[in-house]
Structure 1
């Protein structure tokens, strides 16, 4: 089994900027990865390099030719990383903007009177886009209730709700509040069985950092990520769309290329940093396995990331060394339960008698960065049904260590005793 050893972990941490310190706070442990993962040092260097370039794409000069080559290479890198033999990749303003754009075009390009299907597990970027554009396209927007106890949604729930009139469906790959993954291939298959022509659009934003993306296996039409949550930087989003979704009517310049979904000139540096991420994951896959094929290295990296993050969440929930885990601490409630195989590197919790805002503050004072999720427009869909006004989100990535988890547990032990 692909494994991240202590030696490999040291090499991993060396490749990330600000891995154990913040320019404002000084020394700190970063457990706020769901809000934005750490950035690769190579991404920082590449961004600076491309910020200096004055040339534009699509000109007949050596500088412009190189920009086009870099963009095409990044798209090819993403094609291998996400296993997408068909369709196309393009960059947009952000993950949220791209989800809105894909959903808008899917709704406007499908039958009036049809159903747009989603779930209450989803982030507001898909729920809001569906509510708006189903209304404009005179379609019915239906939300399936997710399972409160497990913090996820199943293919069975989609199978019960889908009808032959379902024209657009949305699925979140991993919840940014509960941290639970969804069996995407099974959900998509359940939809296709009843509504084969349905356009299926996936929010992969929270899932991307945890590896293991296989677009060919999913059978969906759109998949969106936010690269700043996958070791790159802020300022852009990345979408993949199927050939079928590519040909749906969409905003484009008159007499311009018909299949182009990109709006204006995009930043070549943003594409170049995707190649940095791909190079890093390929390196990691080579370290944790004997794979020689590039796609196999990406798969090995994803498996190793998943296994390491499971070890981190297991330590956090069950304890490590002589420190008790969250499951043994008095008054601690873990969203989705202590034993949940769908968990992906994230633990959300509440402490009885201590407001979540104070827990986050106390942890921060001890140099441990976590995040407060409130029952607002971002997280109310998850927290309100549980009767919670807020929770503490502790989100990890594969560059975090069990030693960091131990420090977190030490503070939590004091806080709960």
Structure 2
């Protein structure tokens, strides 16, 4: 981090120079694929991990590994301290009021399911309504469908326009006396659209309705302040934020978490157990049954420290510059169609090439060492909205460069030549 810190202590660097310098922290970016330098443009699926986070994981495994909370020996005390320090790092990163409002989970999907089971199954009843949007990932659709089927509740969906933007007037019209919950994505994983969630949350609260925000695609790219947003729940994953797989968080307002039933039963989520009655632990431990992902959580904390030193505003500004450059290049290409062209988006471009299936696009780009994601991106309702089976998706991070955008453009031209 010495190079990064030196750059941040000056005002003379350009965003492009900064991105180039950061690449040195990511050893995987130096590999070759099919004898070509890797161009990694699949960050919306999973970002890469800097050496600093890798080293932190190794240090835990080699010098600090033990189970937490249930022993008084040295290693357990160290591991417990590091695990809880990571929780506090995440608290500060999203500006939660208290560290007990941060629940470690296996990722965004489990976080949403935790709320569905813990809050939804307790408070949502027959004929109640749940509002989702047409931009949701399957992880924020299927759990609520499962709940609606179990309870006899109803799902209502906010539509989008051709640019991939939510129709907010239609959102407001969906509220009625039976509306009990809103679950919305902050950023669309398929299109990159940034939704106006602060206003959407405020409107829902005017109607007395709590809101869960799927922040999986937002937390790595824009600054998150849960107190400013006033969301009731917020979920995201480490592996999209330069951290390890298998860990994420659920933020929840303390009074709501306290009112919820546990999602899982087992060790550490209890205060006392007899065969007659179990008394649950306080939050956050009430929702962290069994041995948690200790190493991954500590690695997550390290990734948060890394991103915080760069600054989320710095990341957002550079990625917007990169997105603008890439959008301009692809829009100028005959036969290439960008799906979702709102200007309020993170650095994600979903596109189709006339006469070429997205899977073929991905395969041919891979031959040039270019990694993009192809398919429906676990967002089939969006594909149905545009009447397409799938897209190719290029998603950027702060360590990507304009030269890599140029490589993508050249790769697309090569694909078009094959099918011409």
Q: Same fold (TM over 0.5)?
A: yes
Is the 2:193–2:344 Cα contact (8 Å) retained in structure 1? Answer: yes
> Is 1:156 aligned to residue 162 of structure 2?
no
Q: Indicate the SS of the match to 1:122.
A: coil
- Corresponding residue for 2:304? 278
- Corresponding residue for 2:160? 146
Is the 1:90–1:239 Cα contact (8 Å) retained in structure 2? Answer: yes
RMSD: 2.2
The change in CA–CA distance for 1:246 and 1:180 in structure 2 (over 3 A counts) is: same
> Is 1:93 aligned to residue 106 of structure 2?
yes
The change in CA–CA distance for 1:116 and 1:364 in structure 2 (over 3 A counts) is: same
Determine the C-alpha separation between the residues in 2 that align with 1:81 and 1:72: 14
- Corresponding residue for 1:114? 128
Q: Indicate the SS of the match to 1:201.
A: strand
The change in CA–CA distance for 1:2 and 1:106 in structure 2 (over 3 A counts) is: farther
The change in CA–CA distance for 1:8 and 1:54 in structure 2 (over 3 A counts) is: closer
Equivalent residue in structure 2 for 1:45, among 39, 46, 55:
55
Determine the C-alpha separation between the residues in 2 that align with 1:168 and 1:190: 12
The change in CA–CA distance for 1:265 and 1:23 in structure 2 (over 3 A counts) is: farther
Q: Indicate the SS of the match to 2:95.
A: coil
- Corresponding residue for 1:342? 344
**TM-superposition CA deviations, 1:93-149 (whole Å, max 9, x none):** 2321221111222212214232111112101111101111123233222222233x1
The change in CA–CA distance for 1:4 and 1:138 in structure 2 (over 3 A counts) is: farther
> Is 1:333 aligned to residue 345 of structure 2?
no
User: Where does 1:26-45 land on structure 2 (aligned, <5 Å)?
Assistant: 27-45=37-55
- Corresponding residue for 2:361? 359
Q: Indicate the SS of the match to 2:123.
A: coil
Determine the C-alpha separation between the residues in 2 that align with 1:199 and 1:388: 33
> Is 1:267 aligned to residue 293 of structure 2?
yes
Determine the C-alpha separation between the residues in 2 that align with 1:307 and 1:366: 29
Is the 2:160–2:166 Cα contact (8 Å) retained in structure 1? Answer: yes
Q: CA deviation at 1:24?
A: 8.1
- Corresponding residue for 1:291? none
Structure 1: runs of 5 or more not aligned: 285-300, 319-324
- Corresponding residue for 1:382? 382
- Corresponding residue for 1:75? 87
Equivalent residue in structure 2 for 1:223, among 213, 231, 234:
234
Is the 1:50–1:268 Cα contact (8 Å) retained in structure 2? Answer: no
Q: Indicate the SS of the match to 2:352.
A: strand
> Is 1:371 aligned to residue 373 of structure 2?
yes
Q: Indicate the SS of the match to 2:183.
A: strand
- Corresponding residue for 1:248? 259
- Corresponding residue for 1:177? 190
Structure 2: runs of 5 or more not aligned: 1-10, 271-277
The change in CA–CA distance for 1:83 and 1:369 in structure 2 (over 3 A counts) is: same
Is the 2:33–2:368 Cα contact (8 Å) retained in structure 1? Answer: no
- Corresponding residue for 1:289? none
> Is 1:232 aligned to residue 232 of structure 2?
no
- Corresponding residue for 1:288? none
The change in CA–CA distance for 1:109 and 1:2 in structure 2 (over 3 A counts) is: farther
Determine the C-alpha separation between the residues in 1 that align with 2:33 and 2:332: 35
How many residues end up aligned between the 2 structures? Answer: 388
Q: CA deviation at 1:38?
A: 0.8
TM-score, structure 2 as length reference: 0.86
Q: CA deviation at 1:26?
A: 6.1
Determine the C-alpha separation between the residues in 2 that align with 1:22 and 1:95: 31
- Corresponding residue for 2:281? 257
**TM-superposition CA deviations, 1:284-311 (whole Å, max 9, x none):** 1xxxxxxxxxxxxxxxx22221221121
Q: CA deviation at 1:4?
A: 5.2
Equivalent residue in structure 2 for 1:309, among 314, 319, 330:
319
Q: CA deviation at 1:257?
A: 1.1
